Chain A
Amino acid sequence: NAGVTQTPKFQVLKTGQSMTLQCAQDMNHEYMSWYRQDPGMGLRLIHYSVGAGITDQGEVPNGYNVSRSTTEDFPLRLLSAAPSQTSVYFCASSPTTPRGYEQYFGPGTRLTVT
């Protein structure tokens, strides 16, 4: 199993550009989520999905869009990048079985918006 994969690992955007951060998992996990990590603020939830076709907003959803057409993939779209979106982005997935719901994290994408 590759686990949770994210692409790209690094990205630089100009203000106003759009892009999609890719996330895929091969563990057949129903729950997937996106977090952003900023210095001194821990990880904050952007959007999450409890299964294909179902998404919901987290704590900081503004400026981001998600969709979940398959169980495996959960892309995060930046509609019009802003310097405030400079951050490290993590995708995570979790099984929906009673094992403590451990979330498995991808390696992260470092995004810089200039």
Chain B
Amino acid sequence: AQTVTQSQPEMSVQEAETVTLSCTYDTSENNYYLFWYKQPPSRQMILVIRQEAYKQQNATENRFSVNFQKAAKSFSLKISDSQLGDTAMYFCAFMKHTGTASKLTFGTGTRLQVTL
């Protein structure tokens, strides 16, 4: 079974600054996907970024980037130029690569507050 650990329950960052959210996971699988989801106060789950484990290059999406360290089983999310709209819960998630869609295993989340 896979486990996903987010060791930072809460974090705070000032607007325009950079913040990094941590995520580690445990798996015996070699092929898998990793995701970061954002959940703002509206409760909607929004995909932020996705990483395929077989790709060495770290994924980036505008102000969001990841630091994927496969050997260390680490998958951190960096948010650059933080904006007030980034205030949300952030969940790290793992999906085994089965050749089709499969279940997500989530971490417990990090609550990020962006302040003025």
Beyond A96-B100, A100-B52, A101-B95, whether A42 also contacts B33 by CB under 8 A is no
Q: Which of A59-114 contact B (CB under 8 A)?
A: 88, 90, 92, 94-96, 100-103, 105, 107-108
Interface residue tally on A, bucketed by range: 20 to 34
> 1/0 per position for A18-49, CB-CB distance to B under 8 A?
00000000000111010100001111110010
Q: Which of B100-116 contact A (CB under 8 A)?
A: 100-109
- Tell me if B33 and A101 are in contact (CB < 8 A): yes
- Is the C-beta of A50 less than 8 angstroms from some C-beta in chain B? yes
Which positions in B face A, CB cutoff 8 Å? 4, 9, 33, 35, 42-45, 47, 50, 52, 91, 95, 100-109
**What distance in Å separates the Cβ of A47 from its nearest Cβ neighbour in chain B?**
10
B102: A residues at CB distance < 8 A: 31, 101
How far does the alpha carbon of A41 sit from the alpha carbon of B5 in the complex, in Å? 11
B101: A residues at CB distance < 8 A: 29-31, 50, 94-96, 101, 103
A103: B residues at CB distance < 8 A: 47, 101, 104
How far does the alpha carbon of A88 sit from the alpha carbon of B50 in the complex, in Å? 24
The 9 closest A-B pairs by CB, nearest first: A31-B101, A105-B45, A42-B106, A94-B101, A101-B101, A96-B100, A43-B106, A42-B108, A100-B50
Q: Which of B9, B43, B91 contacts A88 (CB 8 A)?
A: B43
Q: Which of A43, A45, A100 contacts B91 (CB 8 A)?
A: A43
B50: A residues at CB distance < 8 A: 100, 102
With contacts A48-B103, A50-B100, A102-B47 known, what are 12 further pairs, Cβ within 8 A?
A29-B101, A31-B101, A31-B102, A33-B104, A40-B9, A41-B108, A42-B4, A43-B104, A45-B105, A50-B101, A102-B35, A108-B43
How far does the alpha carbon of A95 sit from the alpha carbon of B43 in the complex, in Å? 22
Beyond A42-B109, A43-B91, whether A107 also contacts B33 by CB under 8 A is no
How far does the alpha carbon of A48 sit from the alpha carbon of B96 in the complex, in Å? 15
A105: B residues at CB distance < 8 A: 44-45
A35: B residues at CB distance < 8 A: 104, 106
